[in-house]
């Protein structure tokens, strides 16, 4: 991580000339002390970086400095390029230029041997633009307004200050300070629409975001926040769905039975999403326990059958 940060810091200095330590600290979300340690690391690596005091002062490189690829081993070059390719999974289009520059600098022509893409099949240009907009809001500490589709199927208006993008359980989320709830909230990106950037006080927003981030971190450690209550499940899965359960459940939670089917013992968050997830297996899955969920699945199945048999 430090190698990547040092490389990015070098390019920022090359591009902007002089940058203050607080600016770099905010850019990389680290302390000012860490920035000065990075400056020392760059200096020890042979990069002519220096600091100046007073008005207009800051951290700079000598005017004639050119990044020397020999500072990085061949393996480190490959790792940096792969990291940039992996970040493209978040659909950050401005990474393409940085990737091309580094590929040329390192003289790496065969760099497209792998592609990492978390986006769903068929996702369009609008969703790609949404990621760029959210990234801008996070880095510039800007408020956004948007319409959100709640778990109850209702469209609600929200105003929030995004803090970070999260990828969890095959989906992208944005963690943000919600002005309606006056607290940190996590929103699923595919449920967001009509997203717009709003004007705001960047310094005040940064303070709110930092406060909310601390609250969110504490909530995650204590098992609170937006996490749904867990439920213990026993599932019977037919052999035809083996390809799914090996990807979606822990190996120690799966037992293969004599008839070739599988018994899965696991804990999952409860809620409407769980029922829809279980139904995604079709007739290849049976809920054995708990009885309450089994009865709910039975009732839902009967209701669905009624729509076609009635």
Best CA proximity match to 10, nearest among 32, 43, 34, 57: 43
Q: Helices 21-28 and 32-44: crossing angle, nearest 10°? A: 100
Confidence at residue 236, expressed as pLDDT on a 0 to 100 scale: 95
Compute the C-alpha angle 217/131/170, nearest 5°.
65
**Could you report the per-residue pLDDT of 127-158, keeping only the tens digit for each?**
667 877 888 888 778 889 999 987 666 889 99
Residue range(s) of every CATH 2.30.30 domain in the chain: 125-222
Beta bridge partners of 289: 234
pLDDT of residue 3: 58
Query: Token match 């599988």: residue?
Result: 262
Q: What is the mean pLDDT of residues 23-49?
A: 82
In the predicted structure, residue 289 carries a pLDDT above the cut 90: yes
**What is the length of the chain?**
310
Does the pLDDT of residue 171 top 60, yes or no?
yes
DSSP alpha helix (H) spans, the chain = 2-16, 21-28, 32-44, 74-87, 95-106, 125-140, 202-222, 242-248, 272-279, 291-309
Q: What are the start and end residues of each CATH 1.10.10.10 domain in the chain?
A: 2-106
Spatial distance between the Cα atoms of 141 and 146, rounded to a whole number of angstroms: 16
Whether 254 has a pLDDT exceeding 70, the answer reads: yes
The topology under which CATH files domain 2-106 is Arc Repressor Mutant, subunit A (1.10.10)
Confidence (pLDDT) at 286 = 95
Cβ contact 3:76 at 8 Å? yes
Looking at the chain, the domain(s) classified CATH 3.30.70 span 230-309
Average pLDDT, the chain: 75
- Give the range among 51-55, 103-107, 159-163, 241-245 with minimum mean pLDDT: 103-107
Confidence check: pLDDT of 42 > 80: no
Fold of 230-309: Alpha-Beta Plaits (3.30.70)
On whether the 125-222 domain is CATH 2.60.40, my answer is: no
Dist. CA 49–CA 58, nearest whole Å:
11
Cα(29)–Cα(87) distance, integer angstroms: 17
């Amino acid at each position: 991580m430090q190698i990547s940060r040092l490389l990015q810091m070098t390019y920022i200095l090359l591009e902007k000339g002089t940058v203050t330590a607080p600016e770099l600290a905010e850019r990389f979300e680290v302390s000012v002390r860490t920035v000065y340690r990075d400056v020392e690391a760059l200096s020890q690596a042979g990069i002519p970086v220096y600091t100046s005091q007073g008005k207009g002062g800051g951290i700079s490189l000598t005017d004639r400095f050119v990044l020397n690829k020999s500072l990085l081993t061949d393996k480190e070059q490959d790792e940096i390029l792969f990291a940039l390719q992996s970040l493209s999974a978040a659909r950050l289009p401005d990474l393409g230029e940085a990737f091309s520059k580094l590929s040329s600098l390192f003289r790496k022509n065969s760099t497209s041997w792998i592609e990492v893409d978390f986006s769903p099949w068929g996702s369009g240009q609008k969703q790609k633009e949404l990621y760029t907009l959210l990234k801008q809001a996070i880095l510039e500490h800007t408020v956004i307004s948007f319409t959100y589709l709640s778990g109850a199927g209702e469209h609600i208006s929200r105003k929030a200050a995004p803090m970070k993008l999260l990828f969890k359980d095959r989906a992208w989320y944005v963690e943000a300070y919600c002005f309606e709830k006056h607290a940190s909230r996590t929103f699923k990106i595919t449920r967001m629409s009509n997203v717009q950037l709003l004007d705001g006080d960047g310094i005040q927003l940064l303070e709110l975001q930092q406060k909310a981030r601390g609250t969110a971190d504490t909530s995650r450690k204590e098992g609170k926040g937006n996490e749904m209550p867990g439920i213990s499940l026993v599932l019977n899965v037919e052999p035809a769905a083996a390809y799914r359960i090996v990807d979606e459940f822990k190996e120690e939670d799966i037992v293969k039975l004599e008839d070739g089917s599988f018994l899965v013992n696991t804990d999952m968050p409860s809620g409407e999403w769980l029922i829809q997830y279980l139904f995604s297996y079709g007739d290849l899955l049976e809920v054995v326990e708990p009885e309450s969920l089994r009865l709910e699945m039975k009732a839902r199945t009967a209701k669905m059958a009624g729509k076609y048999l009635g």
